[in-house]
Every structure is written in C-alpha cells, then in structure tokens.
Structure 1
C-alpha cells in the first residue's frame, strides 16, 4: 500500500509540474512604470527589438493584466529595410506600474487606424496620380520647369485622429495645416478629381475638414531654415522659381501604421550663403491623440557660424507671440488669433522646443525668400539632431481652442505629457 501511495504522489507531482510551467517557460513580460504624477493618455513607448527575443515569422500579441490588447506596431525607424523598434500606445494613471504580457502568434492584430500618410504623383500631365512610397525630386523638375504640378496636395500629407499637415515637396519645403472635424482618417483622394488628376479641392470645407492655414513665403508651421548673422536662407525656392537650390530631394515613407506614421526627407547639395551643404535630413512622425507632429532636423557640413531656426507662420496673427519657459525640458512659443485662410477661424499654433538648445525668438525679414515667420533660433552643432513639436489647434476641432487661455493650458498639459518618463523593463 505504501508503494502505491508513493507512485501516486510522484504521478501527481509530475502532473502539477506539467500544468504549471517553470518561470523560464512563461511568456515574456514588459513592465512599464509611469514615474510621474501625471495621468497619461496615449503615451508612446519605444522598445528596441534587440531587447526582445523576436520570433521570426510571428507577430506580437501584447495584453495587459486584464487581458486587454495593447495597440502596437513594429517599425523600421532608420530606413534600412529592417524593423528595429516596437512602438506601443499605453494609458497610465499617475505613478502607475503596468505589466504587459508578450506572446508571438501566427497572425497580426488589426487595430483601429489612427494615423495615415497620403502621397501620390503623376509622371506626365496626362497621367493619373498613383500612390507612391517614395520619390526623388531633382533641381530641374520643379512644377514651373516641367509645366504642371506632379504631386497630390503639393507633396505628402499626414494626419492622426486630431489634425493633419502637409509638406510642400515641390521645392518650397514649407509645412501647412489641415483642420479636422472628425477622428476618422481623411479620404485618400484628397487633392485629386474624379479622373485622378491633381486638383486643389482641399480649400473647401468637407465633412472631414479642410486646409485652413495661409503659408505664403513663410516656412509654415514647424518648417525650418538656416540662419547666418540672423539672416535666413530658404531650404528650397518659391512657387515662381523654375530651378531648385537643392540638387536632389528625397522623400520616403518609413512607416504608416495604426499608432504611428514616420517619414524621412533628405536634401543633398543645397546652395546657401555661397556654400554647398552636402546633406540636410528631417524625420517627421505623428502619433494619435496629439494636435501636432514631431520633427527631427539634422544638418551635415555646417561651418560653425550658422544656426538652425524653426519657423512659425505669422501671416494673419495680430496678437503677437507668447513664450512659455517655466518647464524643465521645453520652451513653448505660441500664437492665438483668427489665423484661418481668410481670418475666418481661430487657430492656436505653437512650437515646443528643447530648452537646452533654444536661444531666442527672432522675426524673419519683411522681404526675401523667407518672410512672415517667427523663427526660433537654436544652438546648432554639425550632425547633431534637434527634436521639436509643431502644434495646430483649430476651433472647429475642439470648442475650447477659440479661447487663448484654454489653448495655453492645453499646451501646458501636453508638455507635462512629454516630460513624463516611462521606465521600461523587459523580463
């Protein structure tokens, strides 16, 4: 009888061990700690894929302690064709710690689409526009030179569930603002007619919104220029010019996903200040929940007497600019006025700039190829990036944006969100 009991006990122990895998066999965990006293909505978390044991041919399934799926995507952030980063969107209470479970599964999850990029081009005036992932623009290929506008919306446009933007890739290299009235992504055919031809149809109100900002000869909202002796040199030319001052401009969509979209621009052999700059780079990204985008700018070939300047258009601004600098990491330059295309709407705009690199705000000259801009003059080093945010808040997107105090508080809350640090531990 004792022998039978002994065998029964051993069998039960073996069975229990089989049903309760060891810690080494359990699923990986990602522990996230909000170390701030601020509650966070749609906080972006970046995790290097080198820190994870990636299973080739499989897709992540990420869940919280309650089994809820966490929205994510895997991105190629440097354009080498290989995914290198896992990007998550997570909500936190103040000082909350969350433990997420990571499992590798056969099928990719389908998350709500909350960011998008739209880019199209035609190669001849009688051709329809087709979607593109990348493009190269040579100096003699400007619209004035070839006789037509090749690009849908004059260049790439991007958006999230709050706001949209576009970049004039046709040689002007300024940035414009699309106001949105819906959280859904705007149609892919914005800027095209029924025949697929380029057409300016986004300056009329649609259900999703419209282009709302006059840009003129400024660098727009979040565009940039280079200063020497406080005089700006435009990266590119004006609409009436036929030849660019940039030998080659390159655009590429690095990622377009449900929780982040990333684009890369490169400008080679730019003539400015009687010099030639071999390479200028910018990387634009947008995530949900923010009335703005992030930009990263880097110059190669600087000689030491220049400063990068970040621009904020001031064509329809009669109330001046306000500087908020009582933050730890950031300085905010904000405007708030009837800054719509024909001064018909209130728009709040802002630049959120790294305090360690910000020097001062100056104004662009009244004449020249960069005008109508406030310019944030930055400490500048060769091949060193400057990262900043450009914000556009339309009164038809959110009622409170028609009030300057409301917009300022919105910016203050956003800076708290940006300054909040998340500690990441992979187990």
Structure 2
C-alpha cells in the first residue's frame, strides 16, 4: 500500500476517534423535578459544572440544552459571583410534580442564543465627549460600557450616568439604582414585554427640562418616589439604631456581570464603606431572570459585619402585608400594596427573606426595614414590584397576596436536580 495512503488512513482514523470521544465526554444528562403538585412557569434553574464533573480545563465556550428533541433557552453563568463561568442556567415550565430530562452538549454549534428571544437586559451608560462645567457633564452622548470606576467627583444629578446609574430588566419590570451617595433602588414600571432600557433616558437633563422617563410613555415610566427611603431592596446597615446607606466610600466599581437572554446581573464593589468607626468592603449582585418580577440580591462583605439591612419605602396609601416567620419554612416576606406610584396606580412591593438570616423587622420615618445576619460575611434576599399596568398585571391586593404565597411556596420547595 502507498505510504501516503497509509498516512491518510491513520490520520482519518485518529480524527474519527477524537471526535467521537470528545462527543461522548461532552454530553451530559440532568433530571429536574418539580416537587410541588402545581404548575411552575418560567422556573429558573442553575446546573453547576462541578456536579456534572466538568472542569475548567474543558474550556466551555458555549453549549446547548435540549428537553427531548427541543432546544431550550440557556446561558453560561457565574453561580457564585466570583467572575468565573461555572454553570449553565435554563428557564423551564413544569406541570404538577413533573420530571424533565435535560441533555447538555458542550461546545455545540447547533443552536445560537440569537435563535431565542432576549428576555432580560442590563446596562451601564456613561457620558462621553462631554464638558464638565459647574458640577455637571454638558453635551456629549451616552455610551454603554461593561464596567466603570466611579469618578471621585461624581455627585447626584450631574448627568454622568444615563438615568443616574445602572439598570436591569426582565419582560415584567425594570429597576435602576443611583450610583452616587444615595445608592437607592428605583422601579421602572413596564407596559410591554420588550426590552426597553437601552432607549430610556438617552437625553440628559442638560438637554431637556425633565427626564423623559418621569413621564408616562408607551413602554411605561419611572413609577416610584424614593426620597430619603430605602426605595425597594436597597442595601444598608443598622448602626446604633440608625439606617446607614452605602453612601460614604473610598471608591466604587460597577460592572455588567451578565447580560443574557434569561439572566442579567449588575455587580457593584464598594471599597471603604464607612459605618460608624469601621470600614467595610462590600460586593452586591442584583440579578433578574426571564419571566420574573424578582431581583435576587447577593451580598458579600468583610470586616466581621454583624448585619445587613434592606427594606421598602413607606407610602401613605399603601397597606403593610406581613407574613409571620415560621421555623417550618425558610422563606418569608414583607410587602406593601396600594396606590403608591407617582401616577397613583396600584403597586405591590415585596422583600422575600430567609427566616434563618432574620435579626429583626423594624421601621423608621421613611422605610419598613428588614435586618439580616451577615452569616459567613454573606447575605441574600429577593425584592420585587408588581405594577397594575404591566402586561396582565396584578390589579388588586387579594391577587397580590396570592402571588406572594405562590412565590413563597416555590422558594420553600426548590426544583430538585438529579445528575445522571
């Protein structure tokens, strides 16, 4: 036999073996089960690579997930907020007590994320080519960036950031927080399931008399009056009985950690946060998932912090709704409902917290306050808003309480995963 033909056959055989071995090693199965006797829509599920025995050496650049023969939306994700991709997230609909077998294929070119509808979004937009004059950035245009170190001279209402800080949204609702000394979270009520924030606040206050998002538009508006309160879900600490917001810091960085089709995340690091006679370094992650009103807040803090607090702004026309803590269930909630928007619409706001982390529930002049333990220098909670004018929105308090109780049931009975 010709030597060249032998070489060709050997190389072909090696390629065949490599491809087939790689294919076998890069296909995984996971069974996901709904433990409740009720359906679950848009359930966000994270599958950890370490449970699949996938190592960093395998260099996962993309993957596909199938439910039977159907590709489903998925995205690579950072499960522990350390900046490293270490899992895959999916969104699933479950029938009562249903089990679904998922097939995961690594580095598969078969299906692109562009084939699925984008249902979450996050951004930071900063003024470029602007003149800094009399404490404000004049002229120029807003451009999206992935991360920023906040300038030392930045103050509120100086036009540096589009709508004053980062924003994130799902197909239900949007949020922003003020990336300045106020550091409070605000709500964008949405009338549409489309992603809208990329087009919101593009004209700075030096160009118009009032921000456009303060007026009702086809997409919705900024609907919450925050004032001196915790807004919804803002981060702080209780010191000598007083709420201390993350206001005085040495420096701040802010990053769009994820901007995916089913999950988006804003990560902010505050260095030298001053509380009393101590300073802390703190990282916050605000993430939102497809089909959800909730922002999951994950906090990491150093220097033996003894508490982290959050809360909800008080409004005169809103009723307080409180679920008593229970040793049987880990999650509870504190909520309000009533005509508490800038447009006198019905709005429900809620904080879901873990009973095992709760120190106390209290209040001050401006806010209802939930004080949590910083166990192992970490804390977490969900906050959410339900506006009556969202598409198929919740219009009454009774339906809002039903939504809260359904959500609590899901939090206390998470989806079960079985790795095959």
Question: TM (normalized to structure 2)?
Answer: 0.84
Q: Which has the larger radius of gyration?
A: 1
Alignment partners' CA distance in 2, 1:292 and 1:25? 38
Match for 2:125 among 120, 142, 160? 120
* DSSP-derived class of the 2:250 partner: strand
* CA deviation after TM superposition for structure 1 residue 76, in Å: 3.5
Structure 1 residues 319 and 57: CA distance shift in structure 2, 3 A: closer
In the other structure, the counterpart of 1:225 is 236
Alignment partners' CA distance in 1, 2:201 and 2:105? 42
In the other structure, the counterpart of 2:8 is none
Q: Which runs of 5+ in 2 are unaligned?
A: 1-19, 131-136
* CA deviation after TM superposition for structure 1 residue 293, in Å: 0.8
Alignment partners' CA distance in 2, 1:214 and 1:184? 24
Alignment partners' CA distance in 2, 1:311 and 1:163? 19
Match for 2:88 among 70, 86, 89? 86
In the other structure, the counterpart of 2:323 is 323
Match for 2:155 among 139, 142, 156? 142
1:249-260, aligned counterparts within 5 Å? 249-260=252-263
* CA deviation after TM superposition for structure 1 residue 179, in Å: 0.7
Residue correspondences, number: 383
In the other structure, the counterpart of 2:173 is 163
Aligned-pair Cα RMSD in Å: 2.6
Q: Do structure 1's residue 176 and structure 2's residue 170 form an aligned pair?
A: no
Deviations 1:249-287 (A, max 9, x none): 1111111101101121111112221x2323012111100
Alignment partners' CA distance in 2, 1:330 and 1:79? 22
1:369-408, aligned counterparts within 5 Å? 372-381=366-375, 383-397=376-390, 401-408=394-401
Question: In 2, are the aligned partners of 1:77 and 1:262 still within 8 Å (CA)?
Answer: no
Alignment partners' CA distance in 2, 1:119 and 1:351? 25
* CA deviation after TM superposition for structure 1 residue 324, in Å: 4.5
Question: TM (normalized to structure 1)?
Answer: 0.82
In the other structure, the counterpart of 1:12 is none
Deviations 1:201-250 (A, max 9, x none): 101111111111100011210002111232212211xxxxxxxx211011
Alignment partners' CA distance in 1, 2:82 and 2:340? 40
Question: In 2, are the aligned partners of 1:129 and 1:197 still within 8 Å (CA)?
Answer: no
Alignment partners' CA distance in 2, 1:408 and 1:260? 26
Structure 1 residues 49 and 171: CA distance shift in structure 2, 3 A: same
Deviations 1:61-84 (A, max 9, x none): 22112x111110002355665422
Alignment partners' CA distance in 1, 2:61 and 2:299? 34
Alignment partners' CA distance in 1, 2:351 and 2:24? 48
In the other structure, the counterpart of 1:192 is 202
Match for 1:213 among 217, 224, 228? 224
